[in-house]
Amino acid sequence: MQRSEQRLDQIILSSASARWQKTAMLIVRSLDRMKDEGTMTDFETIAARIEALVRSGRLEAAGNPAKWRHSEVRLASTGSD
Q: Which CATH number fits domain 3-75: 1.10.10, 3.90.25, 1.10.3470, 2.60.120?
A: 1.10.10
| Dihedral in degrees, nearest 10, Cα atoms 46, 48, 51, 53 | -60
Element (H, E) at 31: helix 23-37
pTM: 0.87
37 vs 77, which has greater pLDDT? 37
State the Cα–Cα distance between residues 15 and 20, nearest whole angstrom: 12
Kindly give the pairing relationship between strand 59-62 and strand 72-75: antiparallel
Domain spans in the chain, listed from the N-terminal domain onward: 3-75
pLDDT tens per residue, range 16-75: 999 999 999 999 999 999 999 888 889 999 999 999 999 999 999 999 999 998 999 999
